[in-house]
Amino acid sequence: MLTEDLMRKVKELQIRTGRAVNEVFAGEYSSAFKGRGMEFAEVRQYQPGDDVRTIDWNVTARTGEPHVKRFIEERELTVVLAVDLSASGRFGSRRRIKNETAAELCAVLAFAATRSNDKAGLLIFTDGVELFIPPKKGLRHALRLIREVLEFGSARADGSVRRGRASASRGKGTDMVGALEHLNRMLRRRAVIFVVSDFLVPGAGVRRTDQPNAFETALRVLSRRHDVIATVISDPRERELPARRGGIAGLLGAPAGLLELEDAETGRRLVIDAGSAVVARQYAREAHDFRRRLEQQMRRLGVDLLRIDDPDSYIHEMVRLFRTRERRRAGR
């Protein structure tokens, strides 16, 4: 049974995101995705007039005769939200933690899918797959997806979450590889998959090597069958250290001084001198380099990357990506 607090949050989210979906987002969503999905139908012998770009070179080499792949246009879209709700998502230096931003973003996508009569599904993962809801249509189903994200993202201090049915333990770590592999097994039809995470996971944002790591392999395999969008949610404090203390000390220009950092997923702690210009520059440089390497990695894997750096401007970033995708597909 839903708690009053959860029902209130769902209603607030529906109201807050509804205008964006109806007035701004839905049109961009449809332009970027609708009518673009192609489902494999068969391989047949080449006929005069066939597009040479559809030649299946493997079958052609095996049979000695030119063969082409035939596709049919999908009449509807399937959107799947793969949401990382591990412990690192409970961080936020502004008015909203990363998990709350993820929930709002998921609400916009779920409502946009509903408005376009598309299916929407959900996978929640931490150090394992916590929940998978197969794609379905309808507002009631979309509201269920949003409730699950909100409820699971509202972790208690003891690391558990009240699901209404029972208190279920939740993992603190992140196994994105397992989540991607699970989706590849469960989704039979082509889908647009938004992987929503901070991507602070093993194998992400690493330098290029001759051998792909497990993260790269899982993402590449999934993106061959599906349209994958890496949706990266970050917080300003993950990119830059606070320069000054708050309160009177901040007004007097006092440096931040010693700062203890804790990894929310491993519990590892580190004390740094945030008042040191050298340390601050190194911290910012490492964050910048990670972002750059992640962009390069996604480009190599053929995966679109959507950055959400500000919880108040995520609609703008999503619209910008969707317009880029539409221009790319139109060849402009």
Task: Using DSSP, state whether 297 is helix, strand or coil.
Answer: helix
Domain regions of the chain by residue span? 4-35+78-238+284-330, 38-73
pLDDT tens figures, 37-76: 566 668 889 888 787 888 999 899 999 999 998 765 555 7
pLDDT tens figures, 186-238: 999 999 999 999 999 999 999 888 888 999 999 999 999 999 999 999 998 89
Asked whether the whole model's pTM tops 0.85, one would answer no
Rg of the chain over Cα atoms, rounded to whole angstroms, equals: 22
**Residue with the larger pLDDT of the pair 160 and 263:** 263
DSSP 8-state symbol, 170: -
Q: How far is CA 2 from CA 53, 122, 152, 165, in A?
A: 53, 19, 13, 9
**Residue with the larger pLDDT of the pair 4 and 120:** 120
Q: How far is CA 162 from CA 6, 29, 168, 204, in A?
A: 11, 33, 7, 31
Q: Which CATH architecture group holds 4-35+78-238+284-330?
A: 3-Layer(aba) Sandwich (3.40)
Distance CA 47, CA 332 (A): 30
Which residue blocks in the chain are alpha helix, DSSP H? 4-20, 26-33, 57-63, 98-115, 139-153, 176-186, 214-225, 247-251, 277-301, 314-330
Q: Of 270, 240, 271, 268, whose CA–CA distance to 257 is shortest? A: 271
Q: Can you tell me the mean pLDDT for 9-17?
A: 80
Task: Using DSSP, state whether 59 is helix, strand or coil.
Answer: helix
pLDDT tens figures, 267-324: 899 998 888 889 989 999 999 999 999 999 999 999 999 999 988 888 889 989 988 9
Q: What does the block give as tokens for 14?
A: 């529906």
Distance CA 283, CA 107 (A): 33
Q: In what order do the strands lie in the sheet with 119-125?
A: 129-136, 119-125, 78-84, 192-197, 227-233, 304-308
- Count H helices and E strands in the chain, helices first: 10, 12
**Residue with the larger pLDDT of the pair 256 and 192:** 192
